[in-house]
Structure 1
Amino acid sequence: MHYIRFCRPPEVTAGPSQATVKVVLTITTDLSDAFLSPRSPVQLVVLGAYTEHKDGRDQLVPVNLTQGSPPTWRAGMRVLKLDLPLPPHPIETIQVRPLSQQLMAMGTSDVLPGNQGLIMAVYADMPRPGDGRAPAVCFRSLRLATGPVASGPTLQIEEDLGESIARHIWDSGIVMVSLLAEFCLDSTAEVGEEPLPLFRSILQAPSRPLNILELGCGVGVVGIGLARVMSFRQAGEASHILMTDLPEAEEKARANMARQAKILGNNSASLDFEPLDWEEGKNGRFGEKAASRPWDLVVLCDCTYNTDTLPPLVKTLSALHSHSAQHPSTAQGSVKTEVLVATKQRHSSERTFFDLMSGDGWVVREQTVLPLPLLDGEGQPVEVYLFGKQG
């Protein structure tokens, strides 16, 4: 998959007769380590939007800012610069996406089939003329499809325009949210027909509200996506999802939690964040929130790329399993923590993770491979594993 990225915030300039917006963009892989080099040029469209009060309610009105010849991304390009005239209406947001919707990752039902390389659009809030550049953040939008068509509630995730990989969406996160949406929102398939039937049954038919902890949540796409899709299936007492990562990830994770505040109501999965350093977790030292309950499921996505952190990661997983089995709120041994791992292998040394897991008594209960093609070459599949402890 590829991602359209703003190289810097859109900048609005007030001209003598018409304001313009300067956009500098690129199209890269999730870690920005390779530019899109398509076999055929990819035409783009830049859309603005403003709010119009009509029929007693506010409606968002789209405006095509790239009238005439569409901007085009070609093989060998590293950056694309645009200077676009703005309409008289004050534009509130801007979107850059492929002109062809067949190339666009619009919804989870576009991603999960894995039969075509896709490009993810980018959005940003617009400054007023004279305010200069917009804030140095952008956001992604993905419809949580309820069937084969990309229609349904929308998940919005904010990310930074900077280069920190901790503040961007990664491929495995998008694929995992797409899988979760299928499991929790698509009622047409029976348990056992789709990949990971055991994991699917855990989500679809829990005997009680689930306690789910995410390690290395980054911007929060998986934990927030899980909370969103579970909220459409569950009634009664809410399941609890705790996202964790190093302290520097907290600001962006909480910003994305705030984006969901009005959507996640009282009867949906509850969502929270707490810092958790695996160097502390490996010794069973957890924060107040992580220590407050036993954990049915631990989720981690794209966390095996740094081999230096694998030993404390595995020990943290085992410590969470022991903590849950011995938690005073449950009968001893009644909660056995399962671990769901999604990863897109980026180098062979990542396989060390599986050796460490085996050495610590973890076994793979089920697994699947989800294709992730690229427009300009061989794709890299996302591997998903459900682990449980032996005995």
Structure 2
Amino acid sequence: MHFIRFLKVPTTTSKPSSKIITVSTLITISTDLSEAFYNGNATLRATLRADTPSRQLLAAKTVTWTPGLRNIPVQFTFTASKEIGSNGIVCVSATENRADDMRTLFAGPSESRILSAWSTSFNILQNGSKAEALVERKLQLSTGKMVRIWEETREDIARHIWPGGLAMTSYLSTLPTPPTGELPSLTPLLSNSSLNVLELGAGCGLAGIVLHTLLPSTKVTLTDLPITTEITTQNLTCNPSEGTGSISYHPLDWASPLPGWCATTTYDLILVADCTYNTASIPYLVSVLDELCKLSPRVVILLAHKVRHDSEEMFFEMAREKGIVKKESVVFEMAGDRVDLYTMGR
């Protein structure tokens, strides 16, 4: 799985008294942690549109990514006019093998997929105006259902989308017949109209927001360290609850005792996506899961686990010592990224 990212956010350049406007950006295509660049050929379509209800196309460009590239510049030129308004948005997408449809994300190990990127709205007529250091992902879930997830373009990995969350999202989006095969214990659970769900290490909130979008009667609580509060709150605002359930965010530090709102609640399902990469935090994660399982003995844990190094196996060893074991598993092949999905519990 590869992600289009803005290395330099879209920026406006114009000359005094000139109606000719230039918008420039620098993009890359890289893996989730930016440790590897896309090493294939890809045709990218970049567009600049007015941020108006009509989304008027102001400029478009096709650029080609080839093996060995680390970044590629994109520049638009257009003529200013009163009709277009002052704000615009830049979008960059692959013309083939786009990864935006969660229903088709499951793919063979050699098949490439690239996630599209949208910038924030910014003043395209004002010299020096820049988009914010954010990128929006628009993910198709099912007919008529889509989520909008913002993530940061900077290096803070807590506020990025990761493959584990995408794999979990895709699996949920393809129920009741996921291409990976089923995790049978989820079927009766997800038919519960009063399902109470907790997500640990939610980051941008992708998995929990998708679950609530697909099942609007659920009550979902997203949690992570306070550093994620701003981005998660923004994503909740972009994806308002439309059903009888609810979705909310609370900061939760695994190294601290469970707060009162959590320690007095019974949960049916706990989502954990890509939370085992940092071995230093694994003892705290296991401790939190142990406490939650004591409060909710029948709770099901849905874990998305991309193996990055062998030391992550200590999570399963420590969980097993607490009586929390793997129940079911499927392998999710996601365009070169293998993500293991497990149900766990006591």
Q: Would you say same fold, with TM above 0.5? A: yes
- 1:63 Cα deviation from its structure 2 partner: 4.8
Counterpart selection for 1:273 from 231, 249, 261: 249
Alpha-carbon distance change, 60 to 84 in structure 1, aligned in 2, over 3 angstroms: closer
- 1:112 Cα deviation from its structure 2 partner: 2.6
Q: TM (normalized to structure 2)? A: 0.91
1:143 match? 140
Q: Secondary structure of 1:228's partner? A: helix
Q: Secondary structure of 2:8's partner? A: coil
1:239 match? 218
2:23 match? 21
Alpha-carbon distance change, 322 to 72 in structure 1, aligned in 2, over 3 angstroms: same
Among the aligned pairs, what percent are the same residue?
A: 31
1:103 match? 97
- 1:177 Cα deviation from its structure 2 partner: 0.8
Give me the whole-angstrom Cα distance separating, in 2, the residues matched to 1:174 and 1:360. 28
Give me the whole-angstrom Cα distance separating, in 2, the residues matched to 1:355 and 1:51. 51
The one-character-per-residue Cα deviations of 1:47-103 (angstroms, maximum 9, x if unpaired) are 122366xxxxx433445521xxx21111111111122113543452110011x2x32
2:272 match? 300
Matched, 1:387 2:334: no
Q: Secondary structure of 1:197's partner? A: coil
Matched, 1:11 2:11: yes
Contact 1:228–1:269 (8 Å) recurs in 2:
no
Counterpart selection for 1:125 from 120, 136, 139: 120
Give me the whole-angstrom Cα distance separating, in 1, the residues matched to 2:265 and 2:316. 27
Give me the whole-angstrom Cα distance separating, in 1, the residues matched to 2:311 and 2:78. 50
Please list, as runs of the form range in 1=range in 2, the aligned pairs for 1:178-189 lying within 5 A after superposition: 178-183=170-175, 189=177
Give me the whole-angstrom Cα distance separating, in 2, the residues matched to 1:78 and 1:103. 20
2:325 match? 363
The one-character-per-residue Cα deviations of 1:279-317 (angstroms, maximum 9, x if unpaired) are 12xxxx222332342111111000011111111111110
Alpha-carbon distance change, 73 to 353 in structure 1, aligned in 2, over 3 angstroms: same
Uncovered stretches (5+) of structure 1, i.e. residues with no partner: 53-57, 147-151, 232-237, 326-335, 374-378
More strand by share: 2
Contact 1:19–1:85 (8 Å) recurs in 2:
yes
Contact 1:209–1:239 (8 Å) recurs in 2:
yes
Give me the whole-angstrom Cα distance separating, in 2, the residues matched to 1:167 and 1:192. 29
1:251 match? 230
Matched, 1:173 2:165: yes
Matched, 1:65 2:60: yes
Q: What is the aligned residue count?
A: 337
- 1:323 Cα deviation from its structure 2 partner: 2.0
- 1:351 Cα deviation from its structure 2 partner: 1.1
1:33 match? 35
- 1:192 Cα deviation from its structure 2 partner: 12
What code does the residue aligned with 2:113 have? Answer: L
What code does the residue aligned with 2:67 have? Answer: A
The answer to which of 157-166 and 127-136 deviates more is: 127-136
Contact 1:108–1:181 (8 Å) recurs in 2:
yes
What code does the residue aligned with 1:297 have? Answer: L
Q: Secondary structure of 1:346's partner? A: coil
Give me the whole-angstrom Cα distance separating, in 2, the residues matched to 1:387 and 1:29. 28
Matched, 1:92 2:54: no
Q: Secondary structure of 2:288's partner? A: helix
1:55 match? none
- 1:228 Cα deviation from its structure 2 partner: 0.7
- 1:104 Cα deviation from its structure 2 partner: 0.7
Q: Secondary structure of 1:33's partner? A: coil
Please list, as runs of the form range in 1=range in 2, the aligned pairs for 1:326-337 lying within 5 A after superposition: 336-337=298-299
Counterpart selection for 2:203 from 218, 239, 242: 218
Q: TM (normalized to structure 1)? A: 0.81
2:305 match? 343
Give me the whole-angstrom Cα distance separating, in 1, the residues matched to 2:55 and 2:188. 39
